A and B are shown apart, each in its own frame.
Chain A
Amino acid sequence: MKPTRSLFWLLPLAALALPLFINPYHQYVINLILVYVLVGVGFNIVVGNLGQLAFSNVAFFGIGAYASAIFTTQLGIPWWLTIIPAGLAGALAGCAASIPALRGVRLFYLAIMTLAFGELMRWTYIRTPFLTGGSMGLTVPPAELFGWVLETETQKFYVFLVIVVVIVVAVGRILESRIGRAFLAIKNDERAAAAMAIPTGRYFLLAFALSGFVVGVGGAMYAALVGHLSPEAFDLVQLILHFAIIMVGGLGSLVGSIFGAILITATPELFRDWPGFEELMFGIVIVLVILFLPRGLASLLARLHPVFKDRYLRDD
């Protein structure tokens, strides 16, 4: 049977009916999953598609969240108007984070430099209390959409769903285009890609900026969802969560980022009633997936049905 991609549209369509069957707690968890879908999608662009060990994702996430919160609290701009600026702030941070890579820094050296970028940003949130509320954190007013206050989790859900669908589809299109193929070429062999006249530096910059934009928008959604930002929310534990999403979902896979976000965000909640067990299960899930599905959940799903295989990875 020829795989039909249009089946994927059933997912968001089915999701539209979700709020009818669940309470605000479950709705909140689903909203959190939507935030982490963007986090995973953005992170995967640099790590999975471009193949770079760059860990500045938490910085993009925090910058997006704080940018949205600062625009809302300091400038009085409604939340929906801060989504694009938050993404652009993330993209700008992405450009900054790509500088070491553009200067030839690779592998563990790039990893440690980008990690340091994340920690530097956390230090900045703490040391700029006039903007960020410092270590006491920043309380964000309720999100607004065209003057309509998003008071309930359901209202947030519909807005988040639209944003996530638009961005995931757009990123999918980009990854299937010449740009995405250039990313994969660089990932497979950077020198060979350069020899084929692919301007690698430009694509490095583009990948980091795109990653920063997507994660920055995720940050704006996080600010609207959680309503209180503190520097500690953007520490190394957050990075481990991001990394787990793409490792479990499947490096370089858009489908994997979505399912990775679902599994990694939902697993601790499923085991919430057994304190301590949730951490154990979180670890077990990661170990099991890495041992038995080294290419992540996406590879399992692709085996189940070709429709789950990312188009840009079909020949991979």
Chain B
Amino acid sequence: MRAIRTTFQTATVAVVLAAASGLATAEERGVTDTTIKIGNIGPFTGKAAIFNPLNYGSVAYMRYVNDLGGVYGRKFEIVLGDTACAEAKGIAAAKKMVHDEKVFMITVNPCSGVAMAAKPTFLQEGMIWSGVSANPKITGSVGSGGDGPPPEYMFHVTPNGYFSGVTMGKFIMTKPGAKKIALVAHTNDWARGYCDPAKDYIESQGGEVVLDTAMERGSTDATAQVLRIKSEGVDGVLGCLYQPELVVLLRDAHKYQLGAPVIGALGADFGQVVQQVGNPDAVNGVFFQGHLYKDKIGAPALEWAKQILLKYLTPDELPNEGDPTHFYYFGMMNGVGVVEGFRRAGRDLTRESYMAAIESMRSFDNNISAGSVTITDDQHVGISDMYFNGLDENGDEVIFTAYGQPLH
């Protein structure tokens, strides 16, 4: 009897040890000795496809790192997934990445609605997510637009809408004597993700949002909005609008001689807006927009990023004409932060080691953004500062640190 018991105990210990050793050597999902599989999801089709340069910016940087030999000998295997910026389709993209592609992490994911809808999937599966979506509820915690601790495996190495909105508010409130502000916003979560924190900041500084008016997507006229704003005699206007509608607002603001600066959100490309407005008087010294980068797009400080974009993206992935627009740099900012996490995590890569590495980032200079990246275990939004673009009276682009205060 004793012999049987001893044999049984020995066998049990052997099984447990074997299982433990199996666990110890088991590979992390999406990671091999030579590759790390990354899911890169975004709107490659549909009406929000203008945002997919964000995806390609991240792709370009990872291809560049691959060309240098990867991180600890592992190269990035990037799988693109289309969300069409629609919740149902976005969840399908996320689940495909998790269950079919078995990626290590999911990146970029513009479109807040999609990110919010897919968030339970990420949380349930313990999937690491590093996106650029604006909604503060995605990764925000107390102090970054959320109302609790940050989600365990989800973070931004870029700003979220909360910080972008707050900096829009900060910028307009640095205008001497600024008090009365108007908001013009789309009626979607993206726009409110900017305008709501801006409104809170303005009011916390003694300012007053005298008008918060809607401008629907697809609008080709802003007469009603501009005339209402004008009647309020405001000191500035925040336009939480996508590019086409921002152009319409600026044109009509000039047409009806609004006489107040218009601050655009990050859903538009500054250079393209100026070009599309097509009237220097409507933008010079009037139009400002949040600028995430340490200098002008095209300035020597960002030349390295431009060269990477031009070298590592295919003609289909680059703009049809002209240089890469600012969304590409925004996407690359995400790519640099994500790759830095892998560098810090070391050769023994697990989800835990990766998240520990990300949470160790303090004032990390990604060489692109105006603000540095700081992520802690209770703060998962990495960047909280940005500059602003504007044009001087000659139409030359100027980067401002505050209203009327140029960077150079």
Residues of A within 8 A of B (CB): 23-26, 28-29, 32, 126, 134-137, 139, 142, 151, 153, 222, 225-233, 237, 268-269, 272, 275-276, 278-279
3 A-B pairs with the lowest CB-CB distances in the bound complex, closest first: A275-B44, A228-B117, A25-B95
Beta-carbon contact of A279 and B45 below 8 Å: yes
Chain A contacts for B120, CB-based, 8 A: 142, 227
Query: If the complex has contacts A25-B96, A151-B124, are A276 and B91 also in contact, measured as CB distance less than 8 A?
Result: no
Beta-carbon contact of A275 and B82 below 8 Å: yes
Contact of B189 among A32, A135, A151, A269 (CB under 8 A): A135
Query: If the complex has contacts A25-B96, A126-B187, A135-B192, are A226 and B117 also in contact, measured as CB distance less than 8 A?
Result: yes
- Report Cα–Cα, A142/B119, bound state, in Å: 12
Residues of B within 8 A of A (CB): 44-47, 80-82, 86-89, 91-93, 95-96, 98-100, 113, 116-117, 119-120, 124, 135, 137, 186-189, 191-193
- Pick 12 A–B contacts, CB within 8 A, sort by A: A23-B100, A25-B95, A28-B95, A137-B116, A226-B91, A228-B119, A230-B113, A237-B46, A268-B89, A272-B92, A275-B80, A278-B45
B36 to chain A, nearest CB (A): 20
Chain A contacts for B99, CB-based, 8 A: 23-26
- Report Cα–Cα, A227/B123, bound state, in Å: 13
- Report Cα–Cα, A142/B192, bound state, in Å: 25
B102 to chain A, nearest CB (A): 10
Beta-carbon contact of A136 and B80 below 8 Å: no
Query: If the complex has contacts A135-B192, A275-B45, are A29 and B92 also in contact, measured as CB distance less than 8 A?
Result: yes
Beta-carbon contact of A25 and B116 below 8 Å: no
- Report Cα–Cα, A2/B26, bound state, in Å: 57
Beta-carbon contact of A25 and B80 below 8 Å: no
Contact of A237 among B44, B86, B113, B191 (CB under 8 A): B86
Beta-carbon contact of B188 and A135 below 8 Å: yes
- Report Cα–Cα, A269/B96, bound state, in Å: 10
B173 to chain A, nearest CB (A): 24
B3 to chain A, nearest CB (A): 42
Beta-carbon contact of B82 and A231 below 8 Å: no
Beta-carbon contact of A276 and B192 below 8 Å: no
Q: Which of B47, B88, B119, B193 has the most CB of A within 10 A?
A: B88
Beta-carbon contact of B92 and A136 below 8 Å: no
A224 to chain B, nearest CB (A): 12
Contact of A233 among B45, B88, B95, B96 (CB under 8 A): B88
Chain B contacts for A230, CB-based, 8 A: 87, 113, 116, 188-189
Contact of A226 among B87, B98, B192 (CB under 8 A): B87
Beta-carbon contact of A269 and B87 below 8 Å: no
B80 to chain A, nearest CB (A): 6
Chain A, Cβ-Cβ closest to B82: A275
Chain B, Cβ-Cβ closest to A271: B82
Beta-carbon contact of A228 and B113 below 8 Å: yes
Beta-carbon contact of A135 and B187 below 8 Å: yes
Beta-carbon contact of A227 and B117 below 8 Å: yes
- Report Cα–Cα, A142/B82, bound state, in Å: 25
Chain B contacts for A222, CB-based, 8 A: 88
Beta-carbon contact of A228 and B92 below 8 Å: no
- Report Cα–Cα, A222/B91, bound state, in Å: 12
B92 to chain A, nearest CB (A): 6
Beta-carbon contact of B88 and A135 below 8 Å: no
Chain B contacts for A32, CB-based, 8 A: 88, 92
Contact of B92 among A28, A227, A232, A276 (CB under 8 A): A28
Contact of B186 among A29, A135, A229 (CB under 8 A): A135
